[in-house]
Amino acid sequence: MPAVELTVFQVILLFWSLRAAESQLMTWPGCESSCGRIDIPYPFGEKEGCYLEERFKIVCNSSTGVPTLAVDGTDLEVSNISVSRSTIAVMFPIVFANCSGKDRNTVVDLEGSPFVFSSENYFIARGCDNLALMTQNQSTIGGCVSSCGENRDSVMASCSGIDCCQTRIPSFLKVFNVTMKGLDDGKGSSGERQCRYAYLIDQRRINYGSYYSFGGNFDPYDMRDRDYVPVVLEWGIDGWVYESLVINNGLYNSSYSSTCEYLNPSINSTNQSSTFQCFCNPGFEGNPYLTGICQGKLLVTIPTL
């Protein structure tokens, strides 16, 4: 093998070796790094000693390869965990009313957990003359009205109010509780008899429309035949946990390779404890929750033979 070819091969081998070592830094040493096709980075983990604390525990179904996260007594299927964005994507239950055996209103309360509903989610309500309201701490914090119309909004339509309405959710939302009321259309027909449902959904699922996890093309506004939809939660670590990591585990908040930021507590939350999120700085990657020191990205130039 010519010397140049050997050098190129060695550089490529070194590159992939470093990348493999880098990926191992995402998980606590000696712990499972994935469940099925889903990566499980620290501070999440499957066994005691592999997660930062109990609230970050992931249960992996060994037969199906499906990971779940327990929040407020509800097991949520996990589809993605991102350390760089401090998010976890889960399948979230839809709220139904008067829908032929599917009536259900699951209230999920994230108070006391390290999670909040990301403002990346939209709130969507479907039904004829449906007033759907989001409430938290006995106060209305948002909602919308979908009125009756002869033509339903088509696939990928704007969901502008005819049989479908949508709105953004407030930042740092901790409780998802929905009340729906059928409105009288003024012609003697009451919306109370109509099937109504509402849900949160990751806005990217609306923008892109087609996702493998949904089995191909789907209408992101029409979920009457489904029970769960993809929702994004943001997460952070409590201040006392962060201080413990710094003292006991050598977590180093380096302004050179990583940054840990304090998040102001939400005015909608009764939990006023401080929360931190850590990130790798531009030009670095890895898991800042393990040591606080992210790895520099390696750039390799391959010579032209």
Which tens digit of pLDDT belongs to each residue from 287-296?
Answer: 988 887 788 8
Task: Give a yes or no: residue 66 inside a domain.
Answer: yes
Task: Give a yes or no: residue 245 inside a domain.
Answer: yes
Q: Model-level pTM greater than 0.85?
A: no
Say yes or no: 7 and 22 in one domain: yes
- Residue ending a domain, among 235, 254, 275, is 235
- Which two structure tokens, joined as six digits, stand for 53? 């604390």
Number of domains comprising the chain? 3
Say yes or no: 226 and 245 in one domain: no
Say yes or no: 212 and 243 in one domain: no
Say yes or no: 223 and 107 in one domain: yes
Say yes or no: 56 and 142 in one domain: no
Say yes or no: 28 and 104 in one domain: no
Round to whole Å and give the CA distance between 28 and 26: 7
Say yes or no: 109 and 195 in one domain: yes
Residue span of the structural domain in which 196 resides: 84-235
Q: For 220-267, write each residue's pLDDT tens digit.
A: 788 888 889 999 999 999 888 888 888 776 676 666 888 888 876 543
Say yes or no: 243 and 231 in one domain: no
Task: Give a yes or no: residue 78 inside a domain.
Answer: no
Q: For 20-39, write each residue's pLDDT tens digit.
A: 444 446 998 899 999 999 99
Say yes or no: 11 and 54 in one domain: yes
- Residue ending a domain, among 206, 235, 264, is 235
- Residue ending a domain, among 199, 215, 235, is 235
Say yes or no: 148 and 200 in one domain: yes
3-state secondary structure the chain: CCHHHHHHHHHHHHHHHHHHHHHHCCCCCCCCCEECCEECCCCCECCCCCCCCHHHEEEEECCCCEEEEEECCEEEEEEEEECCCCEEEEEEECEEECCCCCCECCCEECCCCCEEECCCEEEEEECCCEEEEEEECCEEEEEEEEECCCCCCCCCCCCCCECEEEEECCCCECEEEEEEEECECCCCCEHHHCCEEEEEEEHHHHHHCCEHHHCECCCCCCCCCCCEEEEEEEECEEHHHHHHHHHHCCCCCCCCCEEEEEECCCCCCCCCCCEEEEEECCCEECCCCCCCCCEECCCCCCCCC
Task: Give a yes or no: residue 283 inside a domain.
Answer: yes
Q: Which has the minimum average pLDDT: 30-39, 40-49, 101-110, 123-132?
A: 101-110
Task: Give a yes or no: residue 197 inside a domain.
Answer: yes
Say yes or no: 141 and 248 in one domain: no
Strongest mean pLDDT among 38-42, 71-75, 152-156, 298-302: 38-42
Task: Give a yes or no: residue 301 inside a domain.
Answer: no
Say yes or no: 159 and 270 in one domain: no
